Structure 1
Amino acid sequence: MNTQLIVVIVILLVIVIAFYVVSTIMRKKNQERLEELEDRREALLDLPVEDEIDEVKKMHLVGQSQNTFREWNQKWTDISKSSIGDLETQIYEIENENDLFRFMKAKHSLDTAEAQMGYMEGEVDSIREGLRSLRESEERNSLAVQEALDVYEDLKTRLNEEKASYGAAAPEMEKHLVNIEIEFTQFVTLNTTGDPVEARKVLNQAEEDTFELKNKMDRIPPLVLELTDTFPSQVEELEKGHQQLLEQKYIFAEKDIEARLFHIKGQIEDSKKSLEQTDLDMVEEVNRNIDEEVNFIYDIFEREIDSHKYVKANTAQVMNYIEHAKKNNRQLLIELDHTSQSYTLNHNELGRARGYQTEIDTLERNYKLMLPKLEEKQMVYSQAREFYEDSYKVLDDIESEQLQILSDVKELRKGEKEAQKKVDDFEFKLRNIKRYVEKQRLPGLPADYLEFFFVASDRVEELAGELNKIRINMDEIEKLSKFSSDDIEILQEKTDELIDSAALAEQMMQYANRYRHNNPMIAQAIDHSLQLFTKEYRYKDALDEIGSSLNKVEPGAFERIEKFYFSHRELA
């Protein structure tokens, strides 16, 4: 019994101790969560939300911005006045439950309180973000309004201080400024009386009108300057310049200069009327046209003044160039006449030279017709300049072609000398070939070889005959010279082939004699080769006949003898 009692007591003690330990741990854990929850509540209350609300409130928001602000403000009021108070009550109740060892209920209440705390923190973050967005948006709007007001004030000051710069458009600009001022005043009134929607519409219109007016006022002064100063000054200068040039006996191809100047004056007046109505697109278009017309007339005057200087400086030069070309052409014709007695002129040189003379005579005639008009100042200087420039070009081309013809004529004499040297060279080569063939003491020569030799010789004789004519044709001589050169080159190749074939055939037959008595095929080949060699003069065929037969008896003999021959050929 004592033992059982002790066991029961020990078990009870363990249970009590375990309960105490668990209770202590749970109570401590709940207490830590309570303290953390309290810290979060205090941190939420410490946020400067009230200050941020007051800051936005001072901006005097209107319209949708004001409605949005009221929503955020109401949410903060609900949280700060109601939700946080409810949370504080919950925290107090949880502390009591924890102290009374009602740990599970305290834990459940803590879960609920923490969830509520998280929700409030999220809401406060949204409120602060919304307030920040409102503040930044309103600041941007305020800057835009202030910018428009600054622009308006600047435009007003500019118009007052620089009224002359706006010319006939100034009254219309003043009307626009008055209208914009009325719009800004109306905006302030509507905003103050609580009609934010209409106030925003009026403000938007005021801003749009302000920047539109700025655009116009930026564009107007340069246009006014053109219409009141630049163009009138230019027209006056052009009128005076035109009169002075006429007094100096200038003549213009354009007969409507006065009419153009009168038209420009009318355009200036039309542009001023458009400016008065602030139709700036029309003013800019007309001013561009005026500027183009003015520059066109300036270009005419500048062209004629420059042309006058050019004509004055080049009148004598053109005549000198014409005389120079005439002299050169006379010399060219004399040279061609002299040359044509000795050479055939194949490229119409005389006809071309006579054509140059016709061109030169035409230029001289036109020059002499024009000169009195220039002296009496009855001609447009730019037209005279054009004639001079064209004359220079024609004379330059003529001189270039004259020089080319002279160069070609000199080449005829040079070509004749070269052709004569070639004839001597061809004849020398033919004699050498003939002596070389005779030296070989061949039984005879093939008919085709002799025929080609005589063709080459006849061609050289024909070339020599052409060169000995009283009037030679260098085109024909060059052609014959080319043919002769080709013929002799081919003849030399044929001669070498003929002599080599004959010499090799003899050597092959001599070498083959060692097989003659004991090889009927070789004996027959030697006899046939001798027939081809001594009777028919077909040395190449004789070589092929004996060479192929010898190779059958002694393979490689043909190539060995041929190689030995060509390596010692110069000694032969």
Structure 2
Amino acid sequence: MTYIIAAVILLIALVVFGSFSRKRIYKQIDRLESWKMEIMNRPLTEEISKVKGLTMVGETEEKFESWRNDWDEMVTVGLPNMDEALFDAEESADKYRFNKAKGILRQIESQLQGMESRIKAISTEIDELVTSEELNREDIIEAKEQFSEGKKYFLTHSRSLGKTAALFEAEFSEVNTMFAHFDEMTSQGNHLEARKILVNSIECLKDVREKMESVPELLVLLLSDLPSSLKDLKDGFSDMEEQGYILNHIGIDKEISSMNERIAALLEKVYELEIDETQKGIDHLNTEIDQLYDLLENEVISKQFVIKEKEVMLQSLADLQLDMEKIRTEADMVSLSYQLDQSDVEVHKRLEKLFNKLQTRFAMIEQSIEEKKDSYSVIREMMEEMAVQLEDLKKSNQEYQEKLVNLRKDELETKEKLKELRRRLLEARRMMQKSNLPGLPDHYLMTIEKAENYIIEVSKRLDDKPLEIAEITEVLENALEAVEEGYKETAEIIETAMLAEKVIQYGNRYRSSYSSVSVRLIEAEIAFRNFQYEEALNLAANAIESVQPGILKELEVNLKQKI
């Protein structure tokens, strides 16, 4: 039973598949049939008939016959054969020979595509041929008018064309020959070939006209304007040499000779009608001539600069010499009181050496001007370089001078700081005297003594000749630190002693009630009389804090408010 059911299902599947495949093939057959009919109804015969209006000879006749034969072949053979092929495909589909049907349809579609391509090519060729014939009829009239105008222009300007006249005459003869060839191709029905000839002749006429208009101007430039410019350049060069300018570096004779050779070469290019190359060569020559004029102009400007800046530079050297002498004197004076670093000494020597070098260089510049050894442009460069060095030397001198001033400034500042330290230490002593303490701790006395010793050492160092500012500065820093430490310790001792005394006095109220308090207060008094103020404060504070916690903080606040 299972096998029977499977067989039935398989049979149904085959029937469905066959029905579906036949429908697809029938649909494709209908499509190809419609395509075939659409091609058969194309108005290609009418398009081909357009050519009948042309002279049916030569190329036109050949193409006409080829197009007509191809179309007849399609209509009478190719398309009818497709009917039989489509019938075979349909019959194969009915017999379930689907692969064969598909193969036939692929072949038919390929043939239809080939026909489409050929029909499109025929239409394009027809348009080209008909259009070429129409354009030829219109353009030949304009071309002959251009020829007549060009010929007229040539006859009118032949004298200004020089040796090129014969070349242009040959060009017109060539164009005339091309016209004759065009007429021949047209009469033979070769309209496409005639079109190529006509286009070439029009381009040739345009090129000839442009060259005829360019040649006279180029000849004037090469035969007159450029030689005249070179002569003017040479004359100007000679005039400047007579005026005393040194122009050997320009090499004008060599340059002019080279340019004359290039002018001759460019003339030959004109006579060969190489117009673009000639124009480029002339542009390069004009650029080089302008550059030579720029060099001469630069010499004139440089001379004005040299004459003016020479006096300015001479005055700058004189001013700098006065500055150097002033710095030298000031350095000698400073060296009596200060020990200058070796680097500072070397800087001064280097500045002196550089100044002497600049004086020598300026003397060479003056000699070069007087003896006319170098061009003014070269001298100008030398002076501009020297001006930069002069400015650098002025700046270095100023920096060195400021350094000398700063050395003395350091001395004055040190003396002022020393005065302030003495005042500060004296103020600490007065504070201590005013406090009426019974005595001073040893460590405090040592701190004050150390500060005094540093002050004495700084004072002695300031009397040394020469001064060692670096060493004095180091000792001064120590003095500053020691005085500040002494002043701070003075304030701390006074405050501690006053607070200890205050706490002892406050604790007296508890002596009779608390024996332990009385004992500690006695110890505190002994420490106070022995100048141990911090220990006295600790003993008294512990005594009263044991019976009245927090009272020390309160007493401390009240004391600071009174101070």
Output the TM-score relative to the length of structure 1.
0.61
Contact 2:140 2:198 in 1 (8 A): no
1:93-126 alpha-carbon deviations (Å, 9 max, x no partner) = xxxxxxxxxxxxxxxxxxxxxxxxxxxxxxxxxx
1:316-338 alpha-carbon deviations (Å, 9 max, x no partner) = 44444333333332233223222
Contact 1:304 1:382 in 2 (8 A): yes
1:376-455 maps to which residues of 2 (within 5 A)?
376-442=371-437, 450-455=445-450
Q: Distance in 2 between matches of 1:201 and 1:214?
A: 20
1:197 counterpart (183, 189, 192) = 192
Aligned residue identity for 2:386? S
Deviation at 1:259, TM superposition (A): 1.4
Aligned residue identity for 2:299? E
Query: What residue is the counterpart of 2:356 in the other structure?
Result: 361
The alignment status of 1:307 with 2:302, answered yes or no, reads yes
Deviation at 1:429, TM superposition (A): 0.5
Deviation at 1:212, TM superposition (A): 5.8
The alignment status of 1:329 with 2:299, answered yes or no, reads no
Aligned residue identity for 1:434? R
Query: What residue is the counterpart of 2:6 in the other structure?
Result: none
2:246 counterpart (232, 251, 255) = 251
For the residue of structure 2 that corresponds to 1:250, the secondary structure is coil
Deviation at 1:535, TM superposition (A): 5.9
1:178-189 maps to which residues of 2 (within 5 A)?
179=174, 183=178
Q: Distance in 1 between matches of 2:524 and 2:272?
A: 121
* Counterparts in 2 of 1:151 and 1:457: CA distance versus 1, 3 Å: farther
Deviation at 1:302, TM superposition (A): 2.3
Cα-Cα RMSD: 5.4
Query: What residue is the counterpart of 2:336 in the other structure?
Result: 341
1:233-265 alpha-carbon deviations (Å, 9 max, x no partner) = 321122112222333343235263311221111
Query: What residue is the counterpart of 1:276 in the other structure?
Result: 271
Query: What residue is the counterpart of 2:90 in the other structure?
Result: none
Aligned residue identity for 1:384? I
* Counterparts in 2 of 1:438 and 1:148: CA distance versus 1, 3 Å: farther
Q: Distance in 1 between matches of 2:521 and 2:142?
A: 126
Q: Distance in 1 between matches of 2:147 and 2:525?
A: 128
* Counterparts in 2 of 1:273 and 1:504: CA distance versus 1, 3 Å: farther
Query: What residue is the counterpart of 1:11 in the other structure?
Result: none
* Counterparts in 2 of 1:270 and 1:524: CA distance versus 1, 3 Å: farther
Aligned residue identity for 2:355? I
For the residue of structure 1 that corresponds to 2:355, the secondary structure is helix
Deviation at 1:389, TM superposition (A): 2.8
Contact 1:529 1:546 in 2 (8 A): yes
Q: Distance in 2 between matches of 1:147 and 1:529?
A: 140
Q: Distance in 2 between matches of 1:487 and 1:154?
A: 113
Q: Distance in 1 between matches of 2:267 and 2:258?
A: 14
Aligned residue identity for 1:293? E
Query: What residue is the counterpart of 1:297 in the other structure?
Result: 292
Q: Distance in 2 between matches of 1:545 and 1:211?
A: 126
Query: What residue is the counterpart of 1:46 in the other structure?
Result: none
Query: What residue is the counterpart of 1:456 in the other structure?
Result: 451
Q: Distance in 1 between matches of 2:275 and 2:519?
A: 119
Deviation at 1:200, TM superposition (A): 3.4
Calculate percent identity across the aligned residue pairs.
22
* Counterparts in 2 of 1:197 and 1:435: CA distance versus 1, 3 Å: same
* Counterparts in 2 of 1:545 and 1:371: CA distance versus 1, 3 Å: same
Q: Distance in 1 between matches of 2:486 and 2:160?
A: 101
1:262 counterpart (257, 260, 283) = 257
Deviation at 1:432, TM superposition (A): 0.7
Contact 1:419 1:478 in 2 (8 A): yes
Q: Distance in 2 between matches of 1:173 and 1:524?
A: 143
Q: Distance in 2 between matches of 1:248 and 1:263?
A: 26
Output the TM-score relative to the length of structure 2.
0.61
Deviation at 1:462, TM superposition (A): 2.4
1:397-423 alpha-carbon deviations (Å, 9 max, x no partner) = 333333443344344444433332221
Deviation at 1:428, TM superposition (A): 0.4
* Counterparts in 2 of 1:437 and 1:283: CA distance versus 1, 3 Å: farther
Aligned residue identity for 1:234? S
* Counterparts in 2 of 1:518 and 1:356: CA distance versus 1, 3 Å: same
1:18-53 alpha-carbon deviations (Å, 9 max, x no partner) = xxxxxxxxxxxxxxxxxxxxxxxxxxxxxxxxxxxx
Deviation at 1:370, TM superposition (A): 5.0
Q: Distance in 1 between matches of 2:481 and 2:147?
A: 99
Query: What residue is the counterpart of 1:125 in the other structure?
Result: none
* Counterparts in 2 of 1:404 and 1:516: CA distance versus 1, 3 Å: same
For the residue of structure 2 that corresponds to 1:321, the secondary structure is helix
* Counterparts in 2 of 1:359 and 1:183: CA distance versus 1, 3 Å: same
Query: What residue is the counterpart of 1:374 in the other structure?
Result: 369
Deviation at 1:151, TM superposition (A): 8.0
Query: What residue is the counterpart of 1:472 in the other structure?
Result: 467
Deviation at 1:427, TM superposition (A): 0.4
